[in-house]
Structure 1
């Protein structure tokens, strides 16, 4: 089965793009997948940021995960794309107790589920633990309408789906979030609405960070790779900064996609060491 997974990944790579390029932001060195996987052995938690739905990035995630699985005795996968209340059905699928059709029907998969399926198949093949890290979307949606006031009045079972510690720092992350929201389709939001959207963003970051921290505390020897939209981890902000607050002693790596016009002589950002530990070079999106 492992051989079949590797062959399938190699076919996907050859069909989708010619090469995968990673860059070490400390010295601008280009790394192969094998070299990257070796360097990632030095870290406790790896954040792999993505642009949702971009095939080449998802293919790179699968190839890196396969390489880490070959080199790591205890690798845990963690996902923004699955929410805490879907953990039982996720576990049942990975353990072979339910068919994939039932898992798909019951776990509120994203519309681009096929991009994440190879990662789940790797996890299933290697019998990995997989974490449904995110807050259930129903609560994030309520935050947009109500703020955080309702959270502590939830029944204990529901309250457990949300991080115990919530924070909404006035930092670069908030400034970047506000710029992003203001640039979306010309919408003009009130200051109160913008604040609630930011609270909804933060409840996701805090919950994902807590999910990762709990998994690490339960499995101190494990290495965790967490998959999320790039904004949640770029510049070591968002979920990364929350995890550092919870577990300041752990070593964290961030992989972030970076658009370049060509692979031979890519123009890399001057401040790239502040953006990520490694950049995944990607051609511009049409």
Structure 2
């Protein structure tokens, strides 16, 4: 009799634990759906959880055209996570990779590398890339090549952005007319009273004169407009989902690139990778998803990765 009671107790305990886990997962899903609707707070994917997976992100991406992943460019852990997410999503959806780290004029060489027409060393020697490109972003291209995934070189050339930062709109007079390697001036529409402009002014304040700040903001909008053009045109024509990676200032808080894509009717989901724990509630509004990259991922044996 005593043995039966003990067995019954453990059975009830196991059922209770199982039901609580189901409830927790259900609550997490419900909270996520609510967050997506009102965009008031991000859903944090907890790397420290032994059950860490990308199921919620993967499932929600079914309802979107583009996932923007905003990163800190020197966040090595964030680069590892970006690759993991890209690989996971590419097994679930027809996907295109889009990178801020590659510029419009590098598209032809990138396509040649992806098709196998040129070697990896020839690709790397053909143009100037970011200092950490080979270590942190080339793995994304290698995966794309292995799995026949198209790649968008999303950023307009830096030399034109630099010219705008120095000269303002008058720099357009000296841009080449025979081939368009830059977004048109009318696509650089700005709302000078927007939150984005205020954040940019705060960022550049004290570093230069008023005219210089205005031109630097213009260059930032130039990059946003250029990435918007490439991503939107590819998505509308191909109907493929797009995984886009950029510095998080381009996409946080639904601003910059995120705002432009959504205004163009492109259904856009955002994920921000943060190397440090965010302390304020306001910071949790930066994206639809947030991953704190300083937390270790636990393996199945409970040890940190």
Counterpart residue number, 1:167 = 189
For residues 56-71 of structure 1, the aligned pairs below 5 Å read 56-71=77-92
On the 8 A contact 2:71/2:247 being kept in 1, the answer is: yes
Give the secondary-structure state (helix, strand or coil) at the position aligned to 2:281: coil
Give the secondary-structure state (helix, strand or coil) at the position aligned to 1:204: helix
Counterpart residue number, 1:136 = 157
Give the secondary-structure state (helix, strand or coil) at the position aligned to 2:183: coil
CA 1:194–1:29 in structure 2 vs 1: closer, same or farther (change >3 Å)?
Answer: closer
Query: Which residue among 86, 98, 114 is the counterpart of 1:94?
Result: 114
On the 8 A contact 1:53/1:115 being kept in 2, the answer is: no
- Looking at structure 1, the residues matched to 273 and 44 of structure 2 have their Cα atoms a distance apart, in angstroms, of 16
CA 1:268–1:157 in structure 2 vs 1: closer, same or farther (change >3 Å)?
Answer: farther
* Larger displacement relative to structure 2 (270-279 or 61-70): 270-279
Measured after TM superposition, the shift of residue 29 of structure 1 is: 6.0
On the 8 A contact 2:75/2:275 being kept in 1, the answer is: no
- Looking at structure 2, the residues matched to 29 and 177 of structure 1 have their Cα atoms a distance apart, in angstroms, of 26
User: TM-score scaled by structure 1?
Assistant: 0.80
Measured after TM superposition, the shift of residue 100 of structure 1 is: 1.1
Unaligned runs of 5+ in 2: 1-30, 36-41, 46-51, 296-305
Measured after TM superposition, the shift of residue 211 of structure 1 is: 0.6
Question: How big is each residue's C-alpha offset from its partner over 1:102-148, in whole Å with a ceiling of 9 and x where there is no partner?
Answer: 11122321111110011111111110110001110110111111112
- Looking at structure 2, the residues matched to 139 and 153 of structure 1 have their Cα atoms a distance apart, in angstroms, of 10
Measured after TM superposition, the shift of residue 150 of structure 1 is: 2.9
Query: Which residue among 246, 263, 284 is the counterpart of 1:228?
Result: 246
Q: Larger radius of gyration, structure 1 or 2?
A: 2
User: TM-score scaled by structure 2?
Assistant: 0.76
CA 1:157–1:78 in structure 2 vs 1: closer, same or farther (change >3 Å)?
Answer: farther
- More helix, by proportion: 2
- Looking at structure 2, the residues matched to 146 and 153 of structure 1 have their Cα atoms a distance apart, in angstroms, of 11
Unaligned runs of 5+ in 1: 1-22, 262-266
Measured after TM superposition, the shift of residue 178 of structure 1 is: 1.4
Counterpart residue number, 1:275 = 286
Measured after TM superposition, the shift of residue 199 of structure 1 is: 0.6
Measured after TM superposition, the shift of residue 189 of structure 1 is: 1.3
On the 8 A contact 1:33/1:63 being kept in 2, the answer is: no
Counterpart residue number, 2:208 = 189
- Looking at structure 2, the residues matched to 283 and 214 of structure 1 have their Cα atoms a distance apart, in angstroms, of 35
- Looking at structure 1, the residues matched to 254 and 145 of structure 2 have their Cα atoms a distance apart, in angstroms, of 30
For residues 13-92 of structure 1, the aligned pairs below 5 Å read 24=32, 26=35, 28=43, 30=45, 32-72=53-93, 74-92=94-112
Measured after TM superposition, the shift of residue 156 of structure 1 is: 2.8
Query: Which residue among 257, 272, 295 is the counterpart of 1:256?
Result: 272
On the 8 A contact 1:168/1:198 being kept in 2, the answer is: no
Give the secondary-structure state (helix, strand or coil) at the position aligned to 1:150: helix
Give the secondary-structure state (helix, strand or coil) at the position aligned to 1:43: coil
CA RMSD in angstroms, aligned pairs only: 2.1
Measured after TM superposition, the shift of residue 213 of structure 1 is: 0.7
- Looking at structure 2, the residues matched to 252 and 141 of structure 1 have their Cα atoms a distance apart, in angstroms, of 28
Give the secondary-structure state (helix, strand or coil) at the position aligned to 1:78: strand
- Looking at structure 1, the residues matched to 86 and 66 of structure 2 have their Cα atoms a distance apart, in angstroms, of 13
